[in-house]
Amino acid sequence: MTAQLDAVAVNLLGSVEHPELGDSPYRVDADGNPYVPVGDGGIVLGLALGDSVFALDGDHAAPGACLVHNDEAARHALVLYSCIGNEAVVRTGAAAGAAGVVLGKRGEAGRVITGFGPADLARMRPGDQVSVRGLGQGFRPAWLPAGVAIMNLDPGLVTGLPVEAGTGGEVTVGVRTVLPAKLAGNGLGRPAGGWDLDLQVGAGDGQDVRLGDLVAIEDIDSRYNMGYRRGWVSVGIVVHGASPLPGHGPGMTPILTGPRSALVTVADPDGHAGLTAALLKLHRPAEEPAQRGVGRHS
């Protein structure tokens, strides 16, 4: 698709997910200890863009409501067509009419993460219907180098992120940190248009990673199924928090990938600003205390 054409928009419908547990409520962490994966899916309160991925003692906690669909084919379409920055509107329930935005997507069976104001999230319940104006998949800005692929982004959001066209035919992206491929976890081998890539970093690893950050991971090609490719780099937006599950961790939804010669990443550990509540007009009222109800109970 060229810049002279309008990107195709589609109206999508999902329902707010209810958290699920198997026949046992426990998962097992890297040291063999059982824990209850509180915060994995559903509606997570008290977590926002800009918070540390280690802020809550939860499992894969995302800052908002996860959407799914009962029909498998429709669920795949919901996840694939939804892009970060797309408009989301609650259609049923006590929060009907509330406007939010797509923050990212997660793997497993497929989930779309949507962000809303804290008061709206508190009124939402599992099963509420939420519409998404899917826009952006297949869109390609004219200034993007031929070797660089873009995905999972609303076209109107690109200019608000630290992504700039260079003078030498490359793209420069500001990120919080650049990580080696050996830290890539769950998501390898999965389609970049409908999955996230977990980063195997923990609270004691010295990485100050926050929800909404742009993070780069070296030697990963995310054009199709995400996998190792020497000399490449992938950039994603961090969309959910850490996990004690081996092979898992904070997850990023990929947005750019290409060879290092065409996709240049610049780490700014202290001053980086990625996807923010202000950019998306999602504000946590100053007078409303954060609810810290999500925890990992062992």
**Mean pLDDT, all residues of the chain:** 92
Asked whether the beta carbons of 214 and 176 are under 8 A apart, the reply is: yes
- In tens, the pLDDT along 249-266 reads 999 999 999 999 999 999
What is the dihedral sign for C-alpha 190, 103, 231, 166?
A: positive
Asked whether the beta carbons of 124 and 90 are under 8 A apart, the reply is: yes
Q: What is the DSSP string of 230-291?
A: EEEEEEEEEEE----STT--SEEEEEEEEETTTEEEEE-TTT---S-HHHHT----TTSPPP
- In tens, the pLDDT along 199-249 reads 999 998 989 999 999 999 999 999 999 999 999 999 999 999 999 999 999
Classify residue 32 by burial, with Cβ atoms within 10 Å: 0-12, 13-18, 19+: exposed
**pLDDT on residue 166:** 83
Per-residue confidence at 5, pLDDT binned at 50, 70, 90?
A: low
**pLDDT on residue 108:** 81
10 Å Cβ neighbour count for 281?
A: 11
Token pair 């409501």 is found at 65
- In tens, the pLDDT along 133-172 reads 999 999 999 999 999 999 999 999 999 999 999 888 899 9
pTM of the model: 0.92
Terminal C-alpha separation, the chain: 50
What H or E segment, with its residue span, contains residue 150? strand 149-150
Asked whether the beta carbons of 210 and 50 are under 8 A apart, the reply is: yes
Q: What CA–CA distance (Å, rounded) separates 202 from 273?
A: 21
Find how far residue 117's CA is from the centre of its chain. Answer: 17
Q: What is the DSSP string of 10-52?
A: EEEEEEEPPP---SSS-EE-TTS-EEB-TTSSSB--S--TTSB
Find how far residue 6's CA is from the centre of its chain. Answer: 25
CA distances from residue 21 to 25, 190, 204 in whole angstroms, order as listed: 6, 23, 28
What residues does 115 pair with on adjacent strands? 101
Token pair 């824990």 is found at 35
Q: Hey, what are 277's tokens?
A: 């509540």
**pLDDT on residue 4:** 45
- In tens, the pLDDT along 270-295 reads 999 999 999 998 854 434 444 433 44
**pLDDT on residue 252:** 98
**pLDDT on residue 2:** 41
What H or E segment, with its residue span, contains residue 179? strand 177-179
Q: What is the DSSP string of 108-122?
A: TTTEEEEE--HHHHH
- In tens, the pLDDT along 28-42 reads 999 999 999 999 999
Q: Which domains does the chain have, with CATH numbers?
A: 9-136 (2.40.10.170), 149-278 (2.102.30.10)
Residue 69, classed as helix, strand or coil, is coil
Q: What CA–CA distance (Å, rounded) separates 159 from 66?
A: 26
Per-residue confidence at 61, pLDDT binned at 50, 70, 90?
A: very high
